Amino acid sequence: MLIKWHKIAEDISELTTLTEIEIANKKICVAIHNEVLFACAAKCPHASGVMANGFIDALGNIVCPLHRYKFNLKNGLNVSGEGYFLKTYPIEHRKEGIFVGFNQNNFL
């Protein structure tokens, strides 16, 4: 798998708990939970709720603001059981900044 990395911020301090970011013509949602970074699709796979307008529950799941379906931020699993899947992206905090990776095969 060929991953292309895109810089989204210089530092974690530029991000809030849930931040919608547009990078390389793609909108994503960046989440911070217990100082760990996650990245997922900006829109809910159920009916396009804006994930950055939701919240993160005590277990670290992202909760969609529209119908409260919950997704594991690590792997996108729909932990509330409705059978959807939220796309997630690799994210890395490096000394040059924060980078999100897109699979080139899906990206092009």
Is 62 a binding residue for ligand FES by CB under 6 A? The answer is no
| Total residues in contact with ligand FES, by rule CB under 6 A | 8
Is 49 a binding residue for ligand FES by CB under 6 A? The answer is yes
* The binder of ligand FES chosen from 12, 15, 66, 77 (CB under 6 A): 66
Measure the CA dihedral 77/97/34/67, to 10°: -40
Instruction: Write the DSSP assignment of 63-90 as a string of letters.
Output: E-TTT--EEETTT-BBTTSSS-B--EE-
**In whole angstroms, what is the distance from residue 66 CA to residue 50 CA?**
8
Select the span of 31-39, 65-73, 87-95, 98-106 touching ligand FES (CB under 6 A).
Answer: 65-73
Tell me the torsion sign for CA atoms 24, 107, 26, 28: negative
Coil, strand or helix: which one is 12? helix
Select the span of 8-16, 21-29, 62-70, 86-94 touching ligand FES (CB under 6 A).
Answer: 62-70
Is 53 a binding residue for ligand FES by CB under 6 A? The answer is no
User: Which residues are at the interface with ligand FES (CB under 6 A)?
Assistant: 44, 46-47, 49, 64, 66-67, 69
